[in-house]
Amino acid sequence: MKKKFSILLAIMIVSSLLMGCASLPGKITMPDLGDLPDVIGGIVGTQGQTKETKETKPAGKPLPGDSENPVADSYSAYIEAKSVLLTRLTDGLSENPDTVFVAFSFFGIILADLSMLPVAFFGLGQEAVEMGLSIMGSKNVKYSEKGDSYSVTYSDEDGTPHTFEGTYDARADALFTSGSADGKETIYSEYRRTAYGYVAQYYMASDDGSFSAYQLAVDGEDGAIGIFTESGKLPPLTGKENPDFPISAPEWYRIVGNTITGVTADGEPVNFDIP
């Protein structure tokens, strides 16, 4: 009964994430991916084992050796940290009359996280993956892992085969992931822990065959996001990047304290303080 309730809760939350992307006029509300870790925890029954450590460790920073599922907990912590940055930027930009529609620039990266839901179940086993992907109506779900490498394959409601593969580097707290549909790569992502937080980047294929890329740096509640359109694959991350490294992108946004700066897709500068 508890697992059935957890799956129902997961369906409700993920549905709200998918549908809660716009609320006009006045403010654009983007999906809050910070809910995903709790959804996953409910599905696999791990909420109880993480409550104690959440009270004694800094937010988003797992204690060494305190986890039975290091890759899943690492990804969950990264998603939580990134969600804080995205929420602050989208709230600030959408509340400013001159940048209200700029927040839609982040829609691609949010959809990427939703499409990468299988990655959240790396390390948790076949049963957890099957329950988690039932949210999306997936069939023929198969999970495998070998050492620090993980793989999930499934068919969507249209019968298209999908594969997500990843490799986790525990020493660097870094996860490298690629996804494909019908044998064609559709997304590549990586994130790394840094001294100040996280750096990450995504490379995604669009329906029209073009590619786009995002770079992120998360520094506590501050950070930056860079956006590339029609991009080639970006150089691998090292973990030594500065917090402002995404601002080399043609379009970028950064929040430090209460100040948002950036350059829009049209090349217009952004610089204002949020209340």
Is residue 204 within a helix (H) or strand (E), and if so which, with residue range? strand 197-205
Average pLDDT, the chain: 81
pTM of the model: 0.78
39-43, 152-156, 266-270: which has the minimum mean pLDDT? 39-43
Cα(54)–Cα(10) distance, integer angstroms: 21
- The pLDDT tens digits for 147-178 are 999 999 999 999 999 999 999 999 999 999 99
Specify whether the CB–CB gap between 89 and 225 falls below 8 A.
yes
- The pLDDT tens digits for 45-80 are 443 343 333 333 344 444 444 567 899 999 999 999
Specify whether the CB–CB gap between 179 and 162 falls below 8 A.
yes
pLDDT given at position 38: 52
- The pLDDT tens digits for 178-231 are 999 999 999 999 999 999 999 999 999 877 777 899 999 999 999 999 999 876
CB atoms within 10 A of CB 220: 15
pLDDT given at position 210: 77
